Structure 1
Amino acid sequence: MTQSRLDPRDPFVVDTRPLGRQPGSMRTVNRIVNVPEAFATPMASIPEGAEIELDLRLEAVMEGVLVTGTVRGRMTAECSRCLDPLSEDLEASYQELFRYPSDSSEGTGDEDTDEDADDEDYYLEGDLLGLEPVVRDAVVLALPLSPLCGPDCPGLCPECGVKLAEAGPDHGHGERIDPRWEALRKIAEDPGER
């Protein structure tokens, strides 16, 4: 048996020995863990060190251990229109099969023979499974690509950058015409001149 690279003291590592590799056995796990490094997109993240809650259901199946879970945490972001900071609760669900190590070395011939397909699978290391990449993927996919402070946020003035929500209805910069269109403006104002 190979030595596991996973540290059993890591909060993202789960010991599956209580399942006993008996198909049909099940157990639940609930943990509060700290994010080791930010789970982030360009405009939103669960910052490094933030607490997240993991609710897990582990089920032994013929091929390995099926993990069904939910992760809850507090995301921080900035509004994609006005750049105000915001913070909201985030919940993401995931389901992943962690295959028994023997499945990766013993092929039956009727399974996928493509090596790239095996790279996408997760495997138990001994009796341990590492959830960090699965949780990271679930959180990053659940983070908004364009977070908003409100659905009707008007954003920033493209001329001066002031927040339009605070600028008032009389905010304006006068009509600026691109000098390249000046000749057309003159024609439109005095159509008799040609």
Structure 2
Amino acid sequence: MSEHRHGTTHRVANGPWVIDTRDLGRRPGSSRAHRRTLPAPAGLGQADVIAVPEGADVEVDLLLESVIEGVLVSGPASASVAGECSRCLDPISDEIEVHVTELFAYPDSTTEATTDEDEVSHLVDDKIDLEPLVRDAMVLALPQVPLCTPDCAGLCPGCGGKWADLEPDHGHETIDPRWAALKRFSEARDNPEEK
């Protein structure tokens, strides 16, 4: 299924993220609730850092409203996220909830005709694909640097141990090899009986 506009072809495949709006009608003011549990698509987040696992449940509780220029979709979407702390590498699991609002323009509407291709979403054969809308909102809401706790101290650079698990006086003496001979000389001078 496709629609041609300004030399570009839009496609909306069938799938769990696609909503058919024909039963909504085009009379402004018509609305209906849309609640679904959808499988998370691949790439919903930063795979190596934090993301919604592929296939995990994404809950959407949206209101679809018919307006003059198209269908306005708004409401929350939520899912569980998993990843690892950027400082200590411990596993993280959390919940994310975003609020989405998007106008899907009718073909040949003034909105569609007067906006650039990538500035407005489109109804194609009276269908809406929610995946790009929810994906964009969730990816933007995920932390760039996820932490297990706001005050996570990370790992000791000397031994790799987690600072939270180490003794308060934990430390490693490191000497620049260029100064090692001077240190030996200093120790020998301070302890002449060890010669």
TM-score category (smaller protein):
0.7 to 0.9
The residue that corresponds to 2:80 in the other structure is: 74
Structure 1, unpaired ranges of 5+: 184-194
Specify the SS of the correspondent of 2:150. coil
Match in the other structure for 1:36:
41
CA distance in structure 1 between the aligned counterparts of 2:152 and 2:17, rounded to whole angstroms: 38
Gaps of 5+ in 2: 4-9, 183-195
TM-score, length basis structure 1: 0.80
Cα gap change, 1:28/1:106 in structure 2, threshold over 3 Å: closer, same or farther? closer
Q: Distance in 2 between matches of 1:140 and 1:98?
A: 20
Of all paired residues, the percent bearing the same amino acid is 48
1:164-179 equivalences in 2 (<5 Å): 164-177=163-176, 179=178
Match of 1:21 among 26, 32, 35: 26
Q: Deviations over 1:73-114 (max 9, x none)?
A: 10001111100001001111111110001137984xxx35xx
The 2-side partners of 1:179 and 1:141 are apart by 48
Count of residues in Structure 1 that have an aligned counterpart in Structure 2: 174
Q: CA RMSD in A?
A: 2.5
- 2:159 matched residue in structure 1: 160
Which residue does the alignment assign to 1:139?
138
Relative to structure 1, is the Cα distance of residues 47 and 38 closer, same or farther in structure 2, using a 3 angstrom cutoff? farther
> Is the alpha carbon distance of 1:106 and 1:80 closer, same or farther for their aligned partners in structure 2, counting shifts above 3 Å?
closer
Counterparts in 2 of 1:175 and 1:141: CA distance versus 1, 3 Å: same
C-alpha distance in 1, partners of 2:110/2:18? Answer: 20
SS in 2 for 1:14: strand
Normalising to structure 2: TM-score of the pair? 0.80
